Amino acid sequence: MENEQKTMTYADTGVDIDAGNRAVDLMKKSVQSTLRPEVLTGIGGFGGLFALDTAKYEQPVLVSGTDGVGTKLKLAFLTGKHDTIGIDAVAMCVNDILTLGAQPLFFLDYLAVGKLNPEQVADIVAGVAEGCRQAGCALIGGETAEMPDFYGAGEYDVAGFAVGVVDKHKIIDGSTIVPGDVLIGLASSGLHSNGFSLARRVLLEKAGYRVDQVHPAFNRTVGEEMLCPTRIYVSAVLPLLDKYNIKGMAHITGGGLVENVPRVLPEGTAAFINTDAWDVPEVFKVIAREGPVETGEMFRVFNMGIGMVLVVPIAQIGAILDDLRERGVDARIIGRVVKGDRKVQLVEQKC
């Protein structure tokens, strides 16, 4: 019949159900590698079941956090490397809930793509699974949404959601911090996942570096330096919590040291931070020089080499530093708490 029209399918609109099923098959092994004994469900259900062992806690409090990776995703698109960006998604969430003293329990991811490439999705989820293994939490669920005409070819967005637990009387909220306490800084792995709109503008546009160009300051390509995954601090910090008086913690993300440390300071206190106490990674020096970007702006946008700050009593400094360094954690004293109005003052104390 000449007037008979061809029937339409979902695939005609750009959504491939078969590709989605293949992506699930490819990610199963990665997901299963993260499972904890408390997980009661496998991949493919409508919800993830996690049996919280309440006998371990007097008053268990669930702690939740969510975040994305921001425009760092552009580097994954430019380089075609998608197996580490998931680590960033996990890190941004678990590092946040860690600051309250919480042990991460499980993680969920949300991935939206323009056109579903099963191999690309499997790489992204492999990174998420690696982040979960580093954090000791289970990848208990997720969603992959194919959204034609919404994202460009090969592009996607990813977000994460973490849940952890802490005993109510062990919640770390900074309320016991007093003048005289000391700030310990834990080294970052580089840019982490913040400030990438500025980093990309300076390095890739203004300075004109290619992502596949080896930069002598980095000893690797610009793309590799910028894609270096966010450090996950769970294994470094959790062992400290039952042994020492960790009064407060700050995850150094967007806003840098000057905006994140005050979030944990109680009224009547402030902090001095000695910017000479650690070696600023080369990537920040290159951005500052090539921008140029003023020092104050650098410290407001980037972590500048410190990804997590612990506030501890001065009497425990030696023991805590020894504990961290014996486990291979790059940690150092970076400042002190003083009287003030919940602000951070950056000072240089050159010899």
pLDDT tens for each residue of 269-298 = 999 999 999 999 999 999 999 999 999 999
pLDDT in tens, 109-142: 999 999 999 999 999 999 999 999 999 999 999 9
**10-170: which CATH number, 3.40.50.10490, 3.30.1330.10, 1.25.40.80, 1.20.1070.10?**
3.30.1330.10
9 pLDDT more than 80 = no
pLDDT at 351 over 50: no
pLDDT tens figures, 156-180: 999 999 999 999 999 999 999 999 9
Give the per-residue pLDDT at 3.
61
Angle CA(74)–CA(80)–CA(86) in degrees, nearest 5? 65
CATH code matching the domain that covers 182-347, chosen among 3.90.650.10, 3.40.50.150, 1.10.3470.10, 1.10.3720.10: 3.90.650.10
| CA–CA gap between residue 265 and residue 42 (Å, rounded) | 42
Q: Is the pLDDT of residue 43 over 80?
A: no
Looking only at the bridges linking them, the beta strands covering 138-146 and 103-113 are parallel
- Write down the pLDDT at residue 27: 77
Q: Is the dihedral of CA 85, 159, 77, 191 positive or negative?
A: negative
- Six token digits for residue 50: 């996690």
CB within 8 A of 102, min separation 6: which ones?
Answer: 63, 164, 165, 166
pLDDT, the chain, mean: 94
Boundaries of every domain in the chain: 10-170, 182-347
DSSP assigned state of 230:
P
Closest listed residue to residue 105, CA positions, set 58, 59, 63: 63
